[in-house]
Structure formats: C-alpha cells, structure tokens
Chain A
Amino acid sequence: MKTLRRFLSPLLILALVLGSVSVSAAPLPTSELISTQAALSAERADADRERINEILSRAEVQEQLIAQGVDLAEVDARVAALSDEEARQMAEQLEQLPAGAGVVGALLVVFIVLLVTDILGLTNVFPFTR
C-alpha cells in the first residue's frame, strides 16, 4: 500500500498541476459550471491535497478489497459507489471497521461471561436467555 502511494503521489500531483495549468491557459467552455461536490469540498481547507488523497484512497480501497477476496468484476462498481469521505475511511481503517456478521467465535470462558451478561440484559448473544 505504501509503495503504491509513493508511486502514485507524484504522478497525481503532476496530473493535477497540469490540469490546472491547462484550465488557465485554454479557457473552459462557457457552459462548464462548478459542481456541487467541488464546491462542497472546496469549503474545506486544503481542497487540492484532499483531492489527491481521495484519488489515492480509492486506488487503495480497490487493492484492499481484492486482497480480502472480493470478486474482481464487482470491485470497480463497489468503490465508485463510495463517497469521498467513505473511501478515505475505508482506505485508512478497513481492518478496524466493525464488520457486521452476526456470529461470534467464542471460547469457553468467554461463553460463560457472555452467558452472565446476557442474563443481566447487557448483551444478546444467546437466544435462549431471553
């Protein structure tokens, strides 16, 4: 992941710099409005650096999802449906995000503790305690 970032960062910075140069050199077509998303992200500080991070984040999320066994045919569409902020969150902490599954891998000690907390009404692991 680090190497990908190191490799992509300069390229993206270059692309963005060239992009903004061409904007001031060759004028935009008159119909080109500023999009809502661009205006919202510009309201935050450091808009340009954030854009670079967002593009990097998406590449990283894509890599991570493939590593986690997600179907290659699905990865593009899954990443595209994330908002910029969600993409950043996924890239930074996919391992720490809670993954809803509804199953617990329990040891015996854990089993007993959870049984007690279930009876106390603090948890809800075993259906028969209700």
Chain B
Amino acid sequence: MQGRIDRPLRNARLAGVLLLGLLLLTGCATTPRLAESTAQALPRQAWVEDVPFHAQREYQCGPAALAMTLNHAGVDVPMETLIPQVFIPGREGSVQPEMLATVRRHGRIPFVLNDSFDALLTEIATGHPVVVLQNLSLPAWPMWHYAVAIGYDLDARELMLHSGEEAKRIESFRRFDATWARSDRWAFVALRPGELPSGIGEQRALQAIAAFEQVQGAEATLPAWVAFVERFPHSGMGYFALGNARHATGDLEGASEAFRSAVAQRDDLGVAWLNLGLTLQAQGNIGEARQALERAVALPGHWQAHATAALERLSSGD
C-alpha cells in the first residue's frame, strides 16, 4: 500500500531533479533582446545577397565558412585551398586565431565584433556576412561549429545562416543565441581595407588594422588607415599609423601632414613627434625637424632615448 502511493511521488521527484539538473547544465536560455536604438534603426528584415554557399565536408566548417565570406568579399579562393591553410588535423577542426589569420593572408581585414546581438544584426543589415562560432551541443560535450549569418527577420524572430550542409538555414533567435552564447558570442566580418564595421570600437579597429599591416604591408593597408581616421578623427594613434603607412609608400609630404595631425590630437605622443621630426629632416626642413625632435626629447617614455639620439644626429649634421 505504502509503496504504491509513494511511487508516483518518487517519479515526480526524480523528474524534478532531472529538470533542475538540465537547467543547471544549460544555463537559462532566453530570447535575445535588442537595444531600443538598434531596434529602431534596423530594417525589420535584411539579408546579404550573393553569399555563395559551400557545403562543409566532415569537420571542415571552418574552411567552408571562410570560403563563403571571402568569396563574398571579392576574393576568388576555393575551399580546397583554404583547408591546408586553416584546418588542424590533430584537433579535427579549426581554431579562432587561425580563422582570423587566414583572412589576413587573403588580403581582407578580419574584425571581431563586440559580443552582442545588436552588432551581429547591424552588420547583416549593412551587407556583410558574419562568421559566427556556435556550440551546437552542451558545454559538457561541445560541438563547435562555424556558420555564416546572412539574414534576419525581426518580426519572425529568425536568423538565416549558411551552415554545415544546409544553405539558408532558418534558426529562431532564441535557439541561435543559446548556441552562440556558448562561444561568448564570437563573430567576425572580413572586409576590404577601407571598410569598417559600423559599431566597431576604436581600440578594436586599431589593433585589427595594425595586425593586418604586419602581414600585408603598408601599401595594402593605407586605405584602412584613411578610413580609420575618418571614423575616429580624434585618434592620435590613428594619424600616427596613417603617417607611417604613407612614409613607407614614399609619400613624405602626406606622412608629415599625418604626423602633425597626430600631435595636434595628442600633444604628449612622443613617438609621433619623433617620426614627424625624422620625416621633416628627410624632406630637408631642418628647422622644424629640430623643433619636433626637441619636443620628442622632452617627453618621458619609451622613445625618449631614440629621440635624443636622433636630435644629436641632426645637430652633428649627418
């Protein structure tokens, strides 16, 4: 008698424990919310035209996602070329740093977006396909997956992705965000030098462009620095970088102009005074070169010794 009454109770308790465990395991998934301003500014539906679809072969969603986004950005590279460039056989997958590095090798700048749904949808609305990293499974048994987000519908609350073997897959915002949140909402766009993501922060953009320049050189990067100072006109480091890129391509006039803008924005940027002085000296403008170097020497910091040496060379008439 006793046992018969208890059984349903015990079952209910077991179910409760299981459910609780499940919730703890997964964290609570809720529908992502957009900031009010983003929701106002974005069109209700948007999708990126002309994103070619490459179906992944086993384990190779990384190269597939790269091929789709690079092709859309005007780089004619087949997935077969990308596999040996980004796939790690021992890990049976591709890792985030190398996804970004491979974009650089193909002459496009990878910008990692800030970890928000707003940034993701904004980029799609601007016409940029976005590579996202999802964990389609649970944290305990991860199933990491790269897909390319290409469209959304705010009213239906759905996202459109080229994913795995499926083109234009539709996923609800809620399910997508649950899987995307497990990668800390990692996403990037691959853009031509000269284009910037709409909501990108100054430091993030600066680092992304500088990393690209290290791989592709000053000439390829020049348009990106021009776009950068247009977007962030108060960035001393931006003008400094622009000056360096112009100098490296032989445009001394343009370089000294950019260095002047750099110190106009940040008078304490010793390294910009130093490069300004050296550039003016190379142009034969010794008087102003001396003034700039003296300013660099007066500023404490990493480059003070360099500046002192440069000023000494100028004075000794080398």
Contact = CB atoms under 8 A, between A and B. Distances in A.
A18 interface: no
Interface string A35-48: 11101101000010
B141 A78 contact: no
Contacts of B146: 100, 102
A70 B138 contact: no
Contact of A69 (B89, B135, B142, B310): B89
B290 interface: no
B133 A77 contact: no
Nearest to B145: A102
B93 interface: yes
A3 interface: no
Give the size range of B's interface with the partner: 35 or more
Contacts of B291: none
Nearest to A32: B278
Interface string B295-318: 000000011011001100100001
A55 interface: no
A86 B95 CA distance: 11
A116 B15 CA distance: 13
Contacts of B176: 124
B3 interface: no
Give the size range of A's interface with the partner: 35 or more
Contacts of A124: 134, 136, 171, 175-176, 179
A102 B143 contact: yes
Given A33-B279, A103-B143, A68 B179 contact: no
B207 A24 contact: no
Contact of B240 (A39, A83, A89, A90): A39
Contact of A114 (B96, B98, B133, B137): B137
A17 interface: no
B183 to A, nearest CB: 7
Interface string B190-208: 0000000000000000110
Given A99-B94, A100-B146, A123-B179, A37 B59 contact: no
Contacts of B175: 121-124
B90 A67 contact: yes
B263 interface: no
A41 to B, nearest CB: 9
Interface in A70-90: 70-71, 74, 77-78, 80-87, 89-90
B85 A94 contact: no
B178 A102 contact: no
Contact of B88 (A33, A70, A80): A70
Contact of A37 (B135, B214, B279): B214
B61 A100 contact: yes
Given A36-B241, A98-B135, A123-B136, A74 B84 contact: yes
Nearest to A31: B282
Interface in B124-178: 133-138, 141-146, 164, 166, 171-172, 174-176, 178
Interface of A: 24, 27-28, 30-37, 39-40, 42, 47, 65, 67-71, 74, 77-78, 80-87, 89-90, 94, 97-106, 110, 113-114, 116-117, 120-125, 127, 130
30 contacts: A24-B309, A27-B313, A30-B282, A31-B278, A32-B278, A33-B275, A33-B278, A34-B306, A36-B240, A36-B241, A65-B88, A70-B90, A80-B215, A81-B98, A83-B100, A83-B214, A97-B97, A100-B61, A100-B146, A101-B62, A102-B136, A102-B144, A103-B59, A103-B143, A104-B143, A120-B26, A123-B136, A124-B171, A127-B166, A130-B171
Given A30-B318, A35-B244, A101-B145, 17 more contacts: A24-B309, A33-B275, A36-B240, A37-B213, A40-B237, A42-B271, A69-B89, A81-B101, A86-B97, A89-B97, A94-B95, A100-B133, A102-B143, A104-B141, A117-B138, A120-B26, A124-B134
